[in-house]
Structure 1
Amino acid sequence: MGHHVTIMRRAHPAGVDSGARAWAARLAVLLVACLLVLTGCSAIPTKGPVGVIEVPDGEPDAVAPVFDPEGPAPGATPEQILRDFITAGTGAGDGYSVARQFLSPDLRDTWQPEERIVLFRGDPRVEKRAAEGVYQIQLETAGTVDARGVRTNTVVPATETLGVRMVQFDGEWRIDQIPDGIMLAQSSARDLLISHSLYFYSSNYRHWVPDARWFVRRTGVTARIVGAMLAGPAPYLQGSVTSAFPEGVTLARDSVPITSGKATVELSPEVLENATNLALQQMNQQLAVNLLDLNDVTSVEMASDQPIQLGPPAPDLIVPELTPDVGGEQVAVAEGELVRVRNGAVTDIEGLDPVGELDPRDPATSVSGSAYAFLDADRENLYVTAPGSEARAVVGGRNLTKPSFDPENWVWTTRAVDGRTEVLAVPPGGTEANSAVLSAGWLGDRSVRELRIARDGSRALVVTDRSGVGEVLLAGITRSTEGVPQSLTTPLTLPTDGSIDTATWAGQSVIVASSVGAGEATPVILQLDGDRQAMAALDGVVGISAGSDAEDTLYAEAGGTLYRRIGGSWVDEQLTVTDPAFPG
């Protein structure tokens, strides 16, 4: 029999990371169901209550809001035509038929509206140039979205100028030359676009790595999401994640039919070339997790002319983690020693030798809790230790940054060397002599304030200082086939407001950043899709720590005590600890 994967239906507001743990639980059920389906239909329960949600056949239109722009007004001036054309870009229905009415007959058929979307602030400015029929549109840009749905946010105020040529047809002005794409006001982008995370495998297939994308709300969104996934990851993730689908595989048609909740994904013949059962099952897993968050999809089926048989369960098929849980316990320093912090209490770390004579600062712990790392007070030596073992120095240098563990227990830090920054990763049990020195030429003259490795081991969060300005950057981590870190990819810049000195992961798709110092700080929650949420202000912030989410496990060290985020406020835990950090 043919196999498909059942996906639990879920409503999820675009761009919001709350509820991630519930989603992860649903995904766990989904992937267990995947394995059960592979073993045969006898594993599927046939009794018990069944909930049925009626949905129309065909492909969903992403519940788009109604925008009904008008076509060209008779006798309109070139300036008015251009302003109304910008407004007409909000109407995606019928292949942007209204916007095409503003174009000349030759351009009407070749114009690609979603090749590039410019998000702008304020009002567009239209100016006539000296040459006959030549105009330009000036925009204060907030960002762009390319044809793959990759959004690039403008970090500093910027403008963009689009050149346009106008011609007359039957006495009416029309646009004869203009760059492909549409222009959308930033204020309405949330209504016109949806955010959706694509997922790729980490290099060892043990974690799902999110890749935030943006798509226009219109019919066919499922096919565009699948097409974007097949085209591969965003530039900053290339080389650091992998796809189960071979290069060259595409959708065999421009739609993904959805019948009674089942999405049938028709793929090009390349999908079956040299495909093992393991490869097909990995593809099916990836397809399922990418469509999980679409409300109209309850199951998926791969096909290529006919349904693809997945074969018997592959013994080495890994079910990746979607949201690694790092628990509720932190490591910190109290009275000169490493301690545990949990549920408002401070306790000793069982079996760990005293390290007070080394003056520990900035501790870190592995996800398993079996290894610890810390710096000395001068931040010139990095030590590692474990219960039952003596602390040993593994890296020396100037301006070492707070250590961070990846899932394979490599310890990461950076140091200043001859006016540049060097990124190091020390293997488990290793020393500086066998550490990996990563290539990151893009750092240039930047100095690194913070380096935090994502709990999937595929991405690095880097806070840099460039001429006194703090930047929050996200780079991919490339590794050898043996898993040795090799380089940090050219990063994605996350836009922030104000000065940023420190940042940390709060789950897979959320980052918390803040300034530090004696004055008032306003920590900010950064979503990978570009959204920002300012938190309540706090005086004297010196550090931020976060676990698996920003709702239940977010703390700030300030004024000599530890504060916990509860709702929209900070609550004093009345704990005298320094440098707290969750695993990772």
Structure 2
Amino acid sequence: MPTSGDIRAVKASQRADSQVRVEALPPQKGAMPSEVVAGFLEAMTSDDADFATARAYLTPEMAKKWRPQAGTTVLAAAPVPGAAREGGRDNPGIDFPLRGRQIAMVDDRHAYQAITPSKYQKTIHLSRQSGADGKEWRIDSLPEGLVLGASDFQRNYRSVNKYYFATGRPTMVADPVFIRQRMDPVTQAVVALLDGPTTWLEPVVESRFPTGTTLKKGVKSLTFDDQDTLKVPLNEKASGVSTSQCNRMAAQILFTLKGLPSTRVGQVELPRANGTSLCVLDSDQADGYAPDPFATRSGKQYFVDDKSRLAVLPGDAGNKPSNVPGPLGSGELPMSQVAVARDESTAAAVSKDFRHLHVSSITSDGTAASSLVESEGGTPETRLSAPSWDGRGDLWIADRDPERPALLRFEDGSGPPKEVRILQGLGGARIESVKVSADATRIALLLTEGEETTLKIGRVERDGPKGDPVVSIAELRQAAPQMETVTAVSWAGPSRLAVVGKEAGGVQQVRHIQTDGSSSAAAVLPGLNSVRTVAASDDESQPLVAHSESDGIVRLPPGGNWQTVVIKGSSPVYPG
């Protein structure tokens, strides 16, 4: 115990232990206005299921109107009440300004959206109310929803991937949302899934649940039986679906629940409203809808060796790398950057001068490479970016020529390029890097404007004939607003990115960031110097791979430290 020093107030936002439970205290008799405000702000951070204690600080009318589920404003630190002010003649009482720095917003569909940090200021108004103990100060006006500091938000909420099908395809797409940590996460996740996709993702996905499907009336909680089977009783809206549709509905639930910590789900059964079974689906059957069915097949990592050839990293650091068959591995076509198709039969390579894009088989010798496009940029920095393959087999690349900038797509990795339109435009920024998700519905772009390079996520939309759609990128949004500059990015799972960058005034970091821009202190990975590129697998059990100017090609196994695998080499990649 300390025996000297000043007494300091400790804000709720400084709590970091996710196991700590916060029990809110109701207002004390005769509480002063400042105590009512402080008690209410503390009660918003509690584990109270329906915020009943927080409502005790409100007037009866406001307690009925207040909707904490309407959304959550996330501040960098706990909100700080300012000095009290007397209300005006038309609004007697006391005003408390509420100040902070907003970093994110969670909407009523539980979707998190990171924003560039900005000033937050709202007002809480109190008035004197008659109660059982006489006149008491209570809150009669306040901001909508919840207002939480970042660490309280991280302690109280967890990120969960809901899953929907890519429009017109039997491929799952992750849709990250936040649910409360200790309030029956299984039921919360299923209810959030039935509510439908988040607004941003909705245009490119579809749910197999009929519109209006909810849990059967009276069902408040879902539990597993001793065989790890979860029964999810549904209302009449789902009673008439076919077995095929029911199986896909069950697959959405299985994928959603797999991501919950400490949850083992063997199979899902969907009963009709009358209690009879619609269908039963187990985990193995659901795996056929995986976003990237190739992710767990080999776990191979590729790189460009010191002779500009495509090589495969050894599984053991003591072994030597081997070159792939064909012209990309023989040195016939010296390369600078590379992308390997997800089925590992083909690779795309950018020439040493960044001017040409070549595609060739990497499974057999004697095959010729195809030249797909040539950039007219005057320098390597203004020519072709690194390529990227999506889960549909299409190849993507950016031509960074200032005179003719373009985002290009090659259907099935061949044929003439098709330009992809960015609907809202780039506002003068230049595309530096392109990474498309395995489900082909989202794209990560590094964009340079002036001295800054930022990371944005866009939605990949397809319109027109199924055989020849018009592909465009819509609603680009910041994915790492807390970083001043981002130098490298890779998809690292269904809704996660591995990012290399630094915050203002900080040093370079390698960290994991969700596609909605959320992250945690635990997402910062062990330090590594001078990182140029990073590569991650959609199979999150595979090691992270990076190219460091000082250490060469290095790997980071889960729970381990960086290990040098190859001293000389560049452009490490996983398939994709």
More moved, 282-291 vs 203-212: 203-212
Give how far 1:449 is off. 1.7
Return the alpha-carbon distance in structure 2 between the equivalents of residues 302 and 574 of structure 1. Answer: 51
Write out aligned runs for 1:166-565 (5 A): 166-170=126-130, 171-203=135-167, 205-253=169-217, 255-258=220-223, 260=225, 263-272=230-239, 275-294=241-260, 295=262, 298=265, 299-307=267-275, 309-310=277-278, 319-321=288-290, 324-325=295-296, 327-343=299-315, 344=317, 345-352=320-327, 356=331, 358-386=333-361, 387=364, 388-397=366-375, 398=377, 399-416=383-400, 421-428=405-412, 430-433=414-417, 435-480=418-463, 481-482=466-467, 484=469, 486-495=471-480, 496-515=482-501, 521-528=508-515, 529-531=518-520, 533-547=523-537, 548-549=539-540, 552-559=543-550, 561-565=552-556
Q: Note if contact 2:26-2:54 (Cα within 8 Å) is conserved in structure 1.
A: yes
Distance 1:520 1:147, change over 3 A: closer
Change (3 A) 1:281 1:482: farther
Change (3 A) 1:334 1:390: farther
Q: Is the 8 A contact 2:310 2:328 kept in 1?
A: no
CA positional deviation for 1:454: 1.9
After the TM superposition, which residues 69-148 of structure 1 pair with which residues of structure 2 at under 5 Å, given as runs?
A: 69-93=24-48, 95-120=50-75, 121-129=77-85, 131=88, 132-133=92-93, 134-148=95-109
Whether the aligned pair in 2 keeps the contact of 1:546 and 1:553 (CA below 8 Å) is: yes
Q: 2:322 is aligned with what amino acid?
A: T
CA distance in 2, matches of 1:278, 1:464: 43
Match of 1:33 in 2: none
Residue 573 in 1 paired to residue 565 in 2?
yes
Are 2:216 and 2:233, in contact at CA under 8 Å, matched by a contact in 1? yes
Question: d(CA) in 1 for partners of 2:38 and 2:156?
Answer: 18
Kindly provide the CA deviation profile for residues 40-73 of structure 1, in whole angstroms up to 9, marking residues without a partner as x.
xxxxxxxxxxxxxxxxxxxxxxx98532221223
Q: Which runs of 5+ in 2 are unaligned?
A: 1-17, 378-382
Deviations 1:516-555 (A, max 9, x none): 9xx9743223345523533343333322223333762423
Whole-Å Cα distance in 2 between the matches of residues 446 and 342 of structure 1?
38
Taking the aligned partners of 1:291 and 1:569, their CA distance within structure 2 comes to 30
Contact (CA 8 Å) 2:44, 2:54: kept in 1 or not?
yes
Percent identity, aligned pairs only? 20
Q: SS of the counterpart of 1:223?
A: helix
For 1:259 and 1:521, locate their aligned partners in 2 and report how far apart those are by CA, in whole Å: 44
Alpha-carbon distance between aligned partners in 2 of 1:416 and 1:483, rounded to the nearest angstrom = 25
One-letter identity of the residue aligned with 1:506? A
Measured in 2, the distance between the counterparts of 1:429 and 1:337 equals: 20
Q: Does the 8 Å CA contact 1:384/1:392 hold for their aligned counterparts?
A: yes
Question: 1:151 and 2:95 equivalent?
Answer: no
* CA drift at 1:112: 0.8
Q: Distance in 2 between matches of 1:353 and 1:122?
A: 55
**In structure 2, distance between residues paired with 1:442 and 1:251:** 42
Residues matched between the structures, number: 515
Secondary structure (helix, strand or coil) at the match of 1:229 reads helix
- Structure-1 separation of matches of 2:403 and 2:81: 44
Structure 1 104/353 Cα, relative in aligned 2: closer, same or farther at 3 Å?
closer
The one-letter code of the counterpart of 1:564 is: R
Partner deviation per Cα, 1:477-506 (whole Å, 9 max, x = no partner): 223544857122324433344531111123
The DSSP-based 3-state class of the residue aligned with 1:400 is coil
Q: Offset at 1:340?
A: 2.9
Distance 1:258 1:448, change over 3 A: same
Which one is further off, 110-119 or 571-580? 571-580
Moved more, 170-179 or 319-328: 319-328
SS at structure 2 position matched to 1:538: coil
- Output the aligned Cα RMSD: 3.3
**Equivalents in 2 of 1:465, 1:484: separation in Å?**
29
Whose RCO is larger (CA < 8 A, sep 6+)? 1
Q: Distance in 1 between matches of 2:159 and 2:413?
A: 42
In structure 2, the partner of 1:51 is none
Q: What amino acid is the match of 1:408?
A: R
**Normalised TM-score (structure 2):** 0.80
Residue identity matched to 1:248: G
Query: SS in structure 2 opposite 1:373?
Result: strand
- The amino acid across from 2:460 in the alignment is I
The answer to whether the 8 A contact 2:489-2:498 is kept is: yes
CA–CA separation in structure 1 for the residues paired with 2:49 and 2:553: 56
CA contact (8 A) 1:332 1:577 kept: yes
Partner in structure 1 of residue 575 of structure 2: 583
Distance (Å, rounded) in 2 between the aligned partners of 1:522 and 1:291: 31
Please give the secondary structure, in 2, of the residue aligned with 1:190. Answer: helix
